Amino acid sequence: MGDVASALPVYQKILQLDPGNGWAQDCLGWSYFAKNDLPQAQAAFEKAVAANPQATLSRYRLAHTHRAQGHYQQAIETLQQIQKADPGETSVFYDTGVVYELMGDHQKARESFTRYRHAVETHEKKTLHEPDTQLALAAASARLGETDQARQMLHQAMAKAPQFHLEAAFVLSLLDEKKEAVEQLELAIQNGYTNYIWLKMHPDLLPLHGYPAFEQLMGKVIKT
């Protein structure tokens, strides 16, 4: 519900009773991330990973937290650990590309995004024309600078499934269509989407950070 102020003390109480509870540590990390307390979020996600080394999602969140702090090398290393643990993970290539792009290593970023797109096209052959796959590929195309292709895939997907507001917002954000991206986020929330902290963490929404309408929306739905 976005009520981080109420959730945080509950997680802290759980961890007083059960310090090794990796799930509570993961939730604590989300809460601290929402409060912009990134060092505390990092510490919590590190403990979540230590409690459950197979917790791929906690490793992703740790990588996002490193990235948000500008700890790019640590983010890359965390993503590499995910890839090593689960070679079938495709999102790791995309997130690695994001970090390389932020580091200014555009060649490695391009290689990573291309590898992600190839992995999606290979593993999702039966769903290439389905909206969710098209939107994932549209995001990759936008990252690769293929804006016309990204827009075409976005429009095709939304013509089939106009309810995919969240995924459309990601692509629109990458295309620097901020107003339209926020409108899609608002529609997603109106239709029941509640993972507000993920919106704050998601790399494809980075172009919206500092944009007044986005910041106003985050302030409305996340109560810290």
Confidence grade of residue 126 (pLDDT, cut at 50, 70, 90): confident
Phi and psi dihedrals of 52, rounded to 5? -145, 85
Q: Which residue is it, tokens 């970090």?
A: 99
In degrees, to the nearest 5, what angle opens at C-alpha 51 toward C-alphas 49 and 53?
50
Provide the β-strand partners of residue 3: 223
pLDDT given at position 90: 92
User: Are the C-beta atoms of 130 and 159 separated by less than 8 Å?
Assistant: no
pTM listed for this prediction:
0.94
Instruction: Name 133's Cβ contacts closer than 8 Å, sequence gap at least 6.
Output: 120, 124, 127
Per the rule left: phi > 0, alpha: psi between -120 and 50, beta: everything else, 92 is alpha
| DSSP one-letter string for 22-51 | HHHHHHHHHHHHHTT-HHHHHHHHHHHHHH
Confidence grade of residue 128 (pLDDT, cut at 50, 70, 90): confident
DSSP-derived 3-state class of residue 191 = coil
Give the mean pLDDT of the chain. Answer: 95
Statement: residue 73 has pLDDT above 90: yes
pLDDT given at position 176: 97
Statement: residue 85 has pLDDT above 90: no
Confidence grade of residue 60 (pLDDT, cut at 50, 70, 90): very high
- Counting residues of the chain whose pLDDT is more than 70, the rounded percentage is 100
Neighbours of 19 (CB within 10 A): 11
- Counting residues of the chain whose pLDDT is more than 90, the rounded percentage is 91
User: Are the C-beta atoms of 100 and 108 separated by less than 8 Å?
Assistant: yes
C-alpha to C-alpha distance for 25 and 210, rounded to whole angstroms: 29
* 185 CB burial (10 A radius; 0-12, 13-18, 19+): buried
Residues in the chain: 224
Confidence grade of residue 24 (pLDDT, cut at 50, 70, 90): very high
Confidence grade of residue 39 (pLDDT, cut at 50, 70, 90): very high
Token representation of residue 122: 């290979």
